[in-house]
Structures are given as structure tokens and as C-alpha cells.
Structure 1
């Protein structure tokens, strides 16, 4: 596709953008989502799946479906595994002993088919409209807190004790790196 063809297909100039801005946005999006290539296979490995295969599948499917979304929607939407659902699958369903990972994967497939059908027949939009805003915010907050808990646990910032959760070993290199990362993030947010 020639440069003019790319511009007209994706409406880059029409939307007030430039090639440079789009390339920078693509690199930024990739860098923002690259952690998924590490975290997702780790969580799937914790659930009993092969970590190497999980890395390959995560990279291939994220790349393929991001490409297909770009070609279909003509917008730069990056698609990758949702970390809330992954955490629920790995740590609640499988590691919690509710189902083996094979059954969990079947559940994920069936729920995916159900969600596609609900979307095709317009039921999903109806359900979204019926759920009160407070419940939507609460679900988002709960998923965020759960993922933050998993991150702090994996970083060694918190640990389990006989009475619950306690502060982890803050001298652990993982904990130190995490605290530095949180500090730098806080500085950048404050400067914004």
C-alpha cells in the first residue's frame, strides 16, 4: 500500500494526525502493554500451563488481533489478554482448586462465545445500560485492587502470615525495584 493509500485508508490526515505521531503512538502503546508478555505467561504458568507456550500464544494472538482490529476499525486499538480475567482464572479458579486449568480454558472459550452472541444480538448493550454506575465503578475498583494485591505480592512488598497479610521483606531486590518504580511513577504523575 503506497503512502497515500495508507493515509486514505486509515484517514490519518483527515483525523488531524501525522505518520510521525502515529508511529510514536504505536511505540508508546507497545511499551505500555509489553508487561503483559511477562505477567500473563507467569500467571498462566502458576496455573499449570507451559510458560513458554503462553509467551508465544500471548504475543501471536495480541499481534494478530491488534492487526485485525486496526484493519477493521481503521483505528489503533491494541488488543491483548485482560489482566483481571487472567488473574481470576489463574488464582481463583485454578490455584483456588475450583477447576483444573483444562476445564478453566473450556470455561473461558464458552464464555467468549456467549459474549460474542450477546454482542451480536444487542443484549450486551442492554445489560450495560441496566447496571447502575456505582456497581460499574465498584467492579472496576475491585478488579484494580485485586491486580494491585497480586503485583505487591509478586514484588515481595506483602507476604502471608498466620494472621493474614504482613509487610514483606523490603530489602528484597524485587521489593526495592518495585518501590523505586512506584516512586518514579508518582513523580511523573505529580509533574503532569
Structure 2
């Protein structure tokens, strides 16, 4: 890359100020893309269960990811990747459509309204105020909790940890099977690369694991290299009428989407930012408003194109762990999203067992902020611990954050230190309690 290009990128993304380079940002962006690429395949599978066109969903998932991630790059200059959220898409398909009986168009309309509300809340600084109200020890705990959560995702996708409905809920899978074995080999390879401080170690580990999977029949061989993306016409601009928009049912579904996405996004932003040392001395994220705006824009346009809530992904931590510190990382990821529209046959051969080692290692990287948590003050340590442990156990970043915030308020109040919790934290805790008791 020429001096002129480097100079432009330096000025646009403030690389020196953020102690990074074009090469580091490129590797980080590609690593983020490879780690998050499974969403491009899994999201269509999940949403197609709700009756949506699976082929169209593949194109829409990529387009929505491009819009959200590009907005994060250009507006916020942060290395975070946006894509349709795992968990939120499951709620969309299995709870709202299949369980509650609403049409997928109804659920899509709720997501669209959610995005518009988030844009308004961002302009009014409501979401930013919530971030600032969260105690600093909980902010650091979020990073640790996400570390456990993302490592658990890797272990589960590899088949190393499996469900055990008749015993202890989960248990060790058969690690002699080819899938877990590929992940274990990949974990050793990635671990050695990281231990030797080799640049791009996570990415090299993913590629190596994919190659290891070939003789085990875990990595399929592509039938072709390039393919044109399917049309999004069957699912784009599919909204219900005003008679269903202004209804009690819509309010209930909308509130759930708002609740989960709001705290899932805040938790992810804080967790990844804490790991990257992006939080200031007060524990706040500088430039949080444009980052939240990018998230809201991604959700709104994603719904227009025909997909569930677009949010900041926990897999962004892979790029941060690789050294990504600016929006150049997310810009590189956006470019690879665009290429994925044509090179989907190559993209889809990367198995979950190959990305699992990277997720497990990133889980370790995310643990480092635990040293910043005050473990001597139990009114701080207990909420931080609950935040950490509830994320993987409840399988939700949002729920872990809620447990931490509510316990923080209660412990401060009952130990006579209620003034240490902000008024916003009190309001949120009351709303959380009301939600859980069904009011």
C-alpha cells in the first residue's frame, strides 16, 4: 500500500493515535470476518424456520451486516462488527413466530420500529446515559463474562460440550469424534501461534483448522468458487399494516426486542472496549453515541431488507484480540462481507469446528480486565461476579448485565451505601424487576 493511501488512512482512522498500523488493522478485520462468517450461514437457517425465504436471507444477512459494520467504521471509528444477532434471531423465529403464532412480517415490523426507537433514544443520549450509569467494576466484569460466554460458544459448536437433559444439563462430549478432535488440534495450533506472538495467529489457526478438517470430512470441498447472490425480493419491505402496529400484541413483542437488544448491545460494547483499553478513567466509552447510532441504523435497515435485529457481535473480540483498534478494522471486515456475496461457496466450507479454537482463545483474552475489579469490597465484587457467571449460564449477555446491575443496587441499599448507585440505575433495576414478575 502506497504512502499516499497510508497517509489517508492514518488521517481518517487516527492509526498512530490508537497505536496500530494498516497491516494490523487488515489482519484484525479479516480475522473478525472469518470468525463471524458463520452467522451468514446460520442466520438464514434459523429465520427460514419462521417461513422466510432461505436463499434471500443469505443475501439480506450480508447486506445488513455491511450497512451496520460500515456505519460503525465511518461514524464511530471502532473495530466492532455488526450482524444479525444470534439469540435475537432465535427469539424472532421460535418465540414470536412459531410459539406466539405471529407472522414473520409482524416480527419484522417490530424489529423495524425497534430500530427507529433506538435512533431516537441515541439522539436523546438515553442509551449513552445508561452506559455511563453502569458501575465501572461491572463494566470490567462484562468483558470477563463475555470471555466465558464466547469460549462456551466455541466449545459447544465444536461438540466438546454437549447438552445433557437427563443429567447435569451439559456434559463433556465424545472428544474422540472427528468434530471435537479437529477443534482440539486447532486449539493446540492456535495456542502455539499465540504463545509465540505470531501476528495473525488466530486467523492462521482458523485456516489451519479448516485444512485439518478436510481428511476428517469435517470441511466440505466447494463445488464452485463464485456464485451470484439470490434476490432479496421475497423478504424485503415486508411489513404489516397500521391495524397490527397499534396493538397490545405489538407492544409486548416490541418491548422484548428493545430490552434484549439494548442491554445485549451495551454489554458487548463495554466488554470488548474494556478488553481493548478503550474505556476512559471513569469507565465510559468515548464516542459511544455514534457507535450506538451505527447499531440502530443497522437494525432499521436490516428490517427493511428482511432480517432480525442487527447488533454488535461478541465475535468482534477476535479482531480486537488480533490488535484491531480503529474503524479500519471494521472497514476491512465490510469489504470481505461484500466479497462474500460472490464467494459464498468458499465461505461456507469453513466449519464451526475451525472457528471454535479462535473463540476459545479469545475467551481467554477477554478475561484480563478481571484484574481491575475490586474484589475486596463485596458490594462491588458480588455484582461483578454475578455479571460474569450469569452470561454463560443464562446464555445471554443482557441477562448477565441485568443480574449485575440489580444486585449492585440492592447490596448498596441494604449496606447503607445507596448513594453510590446512580438514579438511572435505580430506575433500570425497578424496570427489570417489574419485567421478571410479569408486570
Q: Which has the higher helix share?
A: 1
Following TM superposition, by how much is the alpha carbon of 1:29 offset from its aligned partner in structure 2, in angstroms?
Answer: 0.6
Conserved? CA contact 1:41–1:54, under 8 Å:
no
CA displacement 1:33-89 (0-9 Å, x = unmatched): 22322234314513525554333223223334444555556x47564216xxx2322
Aligned partner (choices 188, 191, 194) of residue 189 of structure 1: 194
Following TM superposition, by how much is the alpha carbon of 1:157 offset from its aligned partner in structure 2, in angstroms?
Answer: 0.8
Conserved? CA contact 1:41–1:55, under 8 Å:
yes
Give the match for residue 151 of structure 1.
154
* 1:45–1:15 Cα change, 3 Å: closer
Give the match for residue 81 of structure 1.
83
| Cα distance in 2 between the residues matched to 1:15 and 1:142 | 29
Conserved? CA contact 1:157–1:169, under 8 Å:
yes
Aligned partner (choices 136, 139, 149) of residue 133 of structure 1: 136
Task: Please say if 1:119 is aligned against 2:98.
Answer: no
Residues 33-42 or 142-151, more deviating: 142-151
Give the match for residue 42 of structure 1.
42
Larger radius of gyration: 2
Secondary structure at 1:178 match in 2: helix
Residues 115-124 or 55-64, more deviating: 55-64
Unaligned runs of 5+ in 1: none
Conserved? CA contact 2:39–2:86, under 8 Å:
no
Following TM superposition, by how much is the alpha carbon of 1:16 offset from its aligned partner in structure 2, in angstroms?
Answer: 4.5
Conserved? CA contact 1:62–1:78, under 8 Å:
no
| Cα distance in 2 between the residues matched to 1:182 and 1:158 | 15
* 1:105–1:126 Cα change, 3 Å: same
Following TM superposition, by how much is the alpha carbon of 1:24 offset from its aligned partner in structure 2, in angstroms?
Answer: 5.9
Unaligned runs of 5+ in 2: 99-103, 198-439
Aligned partner (choices 174, 177, 183) of residue 179 of structure 2: 174
- The normalised TM-score by structure 2 is 0.35
| Cα distance in 1 between the residues matched to 2:33 and 2:78 | 13
Q: Which structure carries more relative contact order (alpha carbon 8 Å, separation 6+)?
A: 2
Secondary structure at 1:11 match in 2: helix
Give the match for residue 415 of structure 2.
none
Give the match for residue 165 of structure 1.
170
Residues 105-114 or 166-175, more deviating: 105-114
Give the CA RMSD over aligned residues. 3.6
Aligned partner (choices 89, 97, 101) of residue 100 of structure 1: 97
Following TM superposition, by how much is the alpha carbon of 1:107 offset from its aligned partner in structure 2, in angstroms?
Answer: 4.1
Following TM superposition, by how much is the alpha carbon of 1:111 offset from its aligned partner in structure 2, in angstroms?
Answer: 3.0
Conserved? CA contact 1:41–1:51, under 8 Å:
no
| Cα distance in 2 between the residues matched to 1:51 and 1:142 | 33
